[in-house]
Amino acid sequence: MTTTFAATMASIAEKFKSAVLADSDGVADACIRVEREELLGLATELAAKGFDQLEMVTAVDYRDRIGLIYRLVSATLSASLVVRCDLPAEQPRVVSLAGIWPAADSQEREVLDLFGVAFDGHPCPKRIFLPDDFCGHPLRKDFESPTLIRRPDLI
């Protein structure tokens, strides 16, 4: 971490109560964990501090919670950052960041489609890959479908 980047991170972690700053987690140069109430504020601040590229939005189903992952890149700070935000597994709902980074638009729809996360304030909150009448969200670990046949566990 360069000094300017580290300083930026520290000032942000100080400003947001729930934000926890951690070192690299294998995904980016640094990691910030935040509660969903503060996600929008944090994102606004990060965008203002030079994180102008939202590279990736995705999620992981940890069974007890849904973990959202935003990977940000800043050309000015020459650094990458991952923002993690956990949502409850039951009816996960979070604010959309498409207003800050338009790049989030299609990627949030993908998370909506495959994980069933509702994004408040999204310009087009619809499924993106699967038909509108599809039941369930396939990347959830508890997803069941008659056409989904699990491979026998050989290992």
Residues found near another protein in the complex (CB under 8 A): 25-28, 52-56, 58, 60-61, 69, 71, 75, 101-107, 110, 114, 127-131, 138-139, 143, 148, 150-151, 155
Q: Which is nearer to another protein, 11 or 30 (CB)?
A: 30
**Closer to another protein at the Cβ: 38 or 110?**
110
Q: Residue 131 CB, nearest distance to another protein (Å)?
A: 8
Q: Residue ranges of the alpha helices (H) in the chain?
A: 3-15, 39-48, 104-115
CB of residue 58 vs another protein: minimum separation in angstroms? 4
How far apart are alpha carbons 118 and 88 in whole angstroms? Answer: 12
Please, what is the end-to-end C-alpha distance for the chain in angstroms?
Answer: 40
Residue 23 phi/psi, 5-degree rounding, is -75, 180
Least separation in angstroms between CB 120 and another protein: 20
Shortest Å, Cβ 18 to another protein: 21
Cβ-based nearer residue to another protein, 17 or 34 = 34
What DSSP assignment string belongs to 54-109? Answer: EEEEEEEE-SSEEEEEEEEEETTTTEEEEEEEEEESSS-EEE--TTT-TTHHHHHH
Q: Give 11 or 22: the residue with its C-beta nearer to another protein.
A: 22
